[in-house]
Structure 1
C-alpha cells in the first residue's frame, strides 16, 4: 500500500485516529479551521457519515441487531462510498483532505470484535494510505473523563457492551478501549503513525500538529486560486 503522495496525486490526505475521548475530533477540527483561514483548499470527511448507509447503521445500533461481521461490512460500504465519490476525486483535484478516522479504525475495532484481520484488511485493500496519520494516545481514564464531561453516560457500542465484557459499562469501556489501544500500537510502526500525547492540553497538541503538517506538506501549493479581474 502506498500513500497518495507516492502515487503522484496532487492532493494530500491527513487522517486522525485514537480511542473514543482521545480528542482526535477536536484536533482535526482545529487543524481544518487553521488551514481554511490560510485560504487553502480543504475537504473534511468523518467516519460513518455516508448518506448511503448512515440511516441503516443508526437503526441497527438502536435495535442492537448488528453482528461484528455486519458492523464491519456496513462501515466498509460507508467508507467505500465516501472514498470513491469524495476523497479520491478531491485528492486528484489538489485538495487537502482531512479524515476523522480512516481504515485503521476498522482494522482495530473489527478485529477486537472478532473479525479475522486478513479478512478486514482485504475488504479495504482498495484504499491507499494517508500521507500523514496522527494517532492521539490518551490514558483510558483521561478519555473516559472527557466523554463524561460532555454527557451523562457512555454509549452502548463505545463501551463495548455488545461484547459482554462486563455488566458495568465503565469497566467494559476500560477493557474494550484497552484492547483497541493494543491494536493501534501494534499497527503504529507498520503504518508509520505520528503519535501525539493526547494527555497534553488541547493548545499544546494543536501547536505540534500544525508544525508537523507544515513541515511535511507544502501548504502554499494548496492555496485557492484568486479571481483575476480584467479591466475592459
Structure 2
C-alpha cells in the first residue's frame, strides 16, 4: 500500500454501477473508523472539474483521441497534486471513481491503438497507480442503457454506441489479466447489495 494512506480506484464501462459502489465502499469504510476521501475523474479538484466539462459534454467528435489524452492528463495531474497526494500523505483512504485505467481504455483504444502513447504520457506526467483497483464488470448493452437513462448531460462517450462499450469491456478484462495483483474483477450483474459485499470482501482482504 501507499506509504501513509491507501489509494483505491473503481473502473468499468459506462453504467456498470461503479460510482454507486464507490459511494457504498466509502460509507462502509467510514463505518469501520477509516478517514476516507471520495473523489472522481475527470475531476476531483477545481481545475480538473473545469476540464471535465470540456471532455464529457458536447458532440462526439468534439475532440480527437489525441487531444482528449492531453486533456485527461492535465486534469489527472491537477487532481493528483491537489487532492490525491495530500490525502495519502495525511493517511487517508482515497477512493476514486475512475483513474488512469479509464484513459488506457477510452483514449488508448478509441482511435486505433494509442495505448503506448497513453502509457508513455502517464509515466512522464502522472507516475502513480492505485494500490487496488476494483473493476465492476457489466454487459455492454445493459450498461449503456443504464448510462443513457441518467440524462446528466455528460453522455458524450455513451453516444459513441455499444460497439465502443464492448471494446472497453474487453479491454478492461484484459487489463485485469495484465495487472492481476492490482485489479480485482467484480460481477456487476448481481444485486447492488451483493456487489457491495463482494467489494468489501476484497478491500478487507487488502487492508487486513
Question: Above 0.5 in TM-score?
Answer: yes
Closer/same/farther in 2, CA of residues 134 and 59 from structure 1, 3 Å limit: closer
1:58 is aligned, of 32, 53, 58, to 53
Runs of at least 4 residues of structure 1 off by over 6 A?
none
Q: Give the aligned partner of residue 72 of structure 2.
A: 75
2:89 is aligned, of 67, 92, 98, to 92
Shift of 1:58: 2.2
Closer/same/farther in 2, CA of residues 65 and 142 from structure 1, 3 Å limit: closer
1:182 is aligned, of 170, 173, 176, to 170
- Is the contact between residue 17 and residue 133 of structure 1 (CA under 8 Å) also seen in structure 2? yes
Per the alignment, in what secondary structure is the counterpart of residue 66 of structure 1? Answer: coil
Between the aligned partners of 1:24 and 1:152, the Cα distance in structure 2 is 16
Q: Give the aligned partner of residue 198 of structure 2.
A: 208
Matches within 5 A, 1:28-47: 28-47=22-41
Point out where structure 1 has 5 or more consecutive residues left out of the alignment: 161-172, 219-232
Between the aligned partners of 2:153 and 2:85, the Cα distance in structure 1 is 37
Q: Give the aligned partner of residue 170 of structure 1.
A: none
Say which is worse superposed, 78-87 or 54-63, in terms of deviation: 54-63
Point out where structure 2 has 5 or more consecutive residues left out of the alignment: none
Shift of 1:130: 1.4
Between the aligned partners of 1:83 and 1:39, the Cα distance in structure 2 is 24
| Larger helix share, 1 or 2 | 2
Closer/same/farther in 2, CA of residues 93 and 152 from structure 1, 3 Å limit: closer
Pairwise CA RMSD? 2.2
Shift of 1:88: 1.4
Shift of 1:111: 1.5
Between the aligned partners of 2:54 and 2:194, the Cα distance in structure 1 is 39
Shift of 1:129: 2.1
Matches within 5 A, 1:187-202: 187-192=175-180, 193-202=183-192
Q: Give the aligned partner of residue 121 of structure 1.
A: 119
Shift of 1:174: 1.3
2:106 is equivalent to residue 109 of structure 1? yes
Say which is worse superposed, 114-123 or 95-104, in terms of deviation: 114-123
Which of structures 1 and 2 has the bigger CA Rg? 1
Q: Give the aligned partner of residue 224 of structure 1.
A: none
- Is the contact between residue 7 and residue 93 of structure 2 (CA under 8 Å) also seen in structure 1? yes
Shift of 1:67: 1.7
